[in-house]
Amino acid sequence: MSRGGGKGQGLKDKLDGNELDLSLCDLNEVPVRELAALPKATVLDLSCNNLISLPSDFCSLMHLVKLDLSKNRLQQLPLDFGRLVNLQHLDLLNNRLVTLPVSFAQLKNLKWLDLKDNPLDPVLAKVAGDCLDEKQCKQAAVRVLQHMKAIQSEQDRQRQQKLQAEREMEKKREAEQRAKEAQERELRKREKAEEKERRRREYDAQKAAKQEMEKKTKKEPVQTRKPASSSRPPQPSRHRHSWSRSVLRVVLFMLFCILCTVAACKLTELQHQPLCVSVNTLFEDVVAALQNHKTLQNLLQQNSQR
C-alpha cells in the first residue's frame, strides 16, 4: 500500500479471514471507500500510522467490531462516531485526544476501551482510569459509556430546556402578537365608530340646515305678500295726490277764467263797463295782496313746479 492513501496494492491481499491489518503503513488518511467494499473485515488495525483525523464517512463502516487506532496523532473523533454501533473493542492508546464526542454514548456494545497516553480532560481521565489489564479496560469501557450517557442526558435536558424556552418564547411572541392585533382591531373599531359618529353629526347638521332652509322657503311667500298688504296704505296718498291735482286744476281753471275776464276787462272796450271796473279794481287789490303774502307766493310756486 502506498503512503498517503492506501491505494495501490489491493486491500484484499491484506485481508486474513475477518481481520484487516493496515498498521505501520504510514497512512495519512483512511481509505474508507476500499474498506466499505470489504464488509467481511470486521477487525481493522490502523495503529502506528500518521492519522490526524478520521473522515466523516468513516462512521459508515458499521460492520466494524474491533478497531485499533493506537499510536496515531488523532486530535478528535468524528461527531457521529456513535454510528459504529457494532463496535465492541476500541483501542485509542497514545493519541492526542482531549474529549470524546457525545455520540460515543451510543456505542452500546462497547466492552473494551483503552484511552491511556492521551491528554484527556481531567474529569474524563478520572472516569476512564487505567487500562493495564483486561479487567481494567472493560471497566473503562463501562465507566466511559456511563459518563458519556450522563453528558448526553444533560445535553438533551439542556436542549429540551432550550426548546421549551424557545416554545415559551414563541408562545409569548404569539400572545403579544395576538394582543397587538386585538389592540389594533380595537383601535380600528374605535376609529370606525368615531368616523361613523362624525358622519352622523354631519348628516344631522345637513338635515337641520335643510329643514331650516325649507322653513325659510315656506316663510318667503308670506313675506312677499306682506309688502303687497303694506303697500296698500300708500294708496290713500296716491288718492290724495290725485285729489290735489284735481283741486289744482279747478283752481287753475278758475284763475284762467278770472284772467280771461280780467284781460277782457282791461284790453277790450268792456273795461268801462261797471262790471269790468269792479273786476279791474278787485284784480289790482288781489295782486297787491299777493305781492305782500310770501306764504301764498311759496305755495303758488310749489304748485307751479309740480
Average pLDDT for residues 21-43, to the nearest whole number?
A: 94
Q: What is the pLDDT of residue 303?
A: 58
Helices (H) and strands (E) in the chain, counts: 6, 6
221 inside domain? no
Range of the domain at 129: 12-155
Total structural domains within the chain: 2
The separation between CA 268 and the C-alpha centre of its own chain, rounded to angstroms, equals: 121
164 inside domain? no
Cβ partners under 8 Å of residue 37, min gap 6:
11
Amino acid at 169: M
Which of 155, 186, 221 is a domain's end point? 155
56 inside domain? yes
3-class secondary structure, 302: helix
Greater pLDDT, 29 or 11: 29
DSSP 16: E
Q: Which of 107-111, 165-169, 182-186, 248-252 has the highest mean pLDDT?
A: 107-111
Question: What share of the chain in percent tops pLDDT 70?
Answer: 82
Q: What is the pLDDT of residue 117?
A: 95
Across the chain, mean pLDDT equals 84
Quick one: 16 and 150 in the same domain?
Answer: yes
3-class secondary structure, 114: strand
Average pLDDT for residues 189-203, to the nearest whole number?
A: 90
Quick one: 149 and 18 in the same domain?
Answer: yes
Q: How far apart are CA 50 and CA 28, in angstroms?
A: 5
Greater pLDDT, 305 or 56: 56
Q: Is the pTM of this model over 0.85?
A: no
248 inside domain? no
277 inside domain? yes
Which of 155, 188, 208 is a domain's end point? 155
> How would residue 10 be classed by pLDDT, with cut points 50, 70 and 90?
confident
Q: How far apart are CA 2 and CA 31, in angstroms?
A: 11
CATH number for the domain spanning 74: value is 3.80.10.10
35 inside domain? yes
64 inside domain? yes
241 inside domain? no
Question: What share of the chain in percent tops pLDDT 90?
Answer: 54
Q: How far apart are CA 193 and CA 100, in angstroms?
A: 67
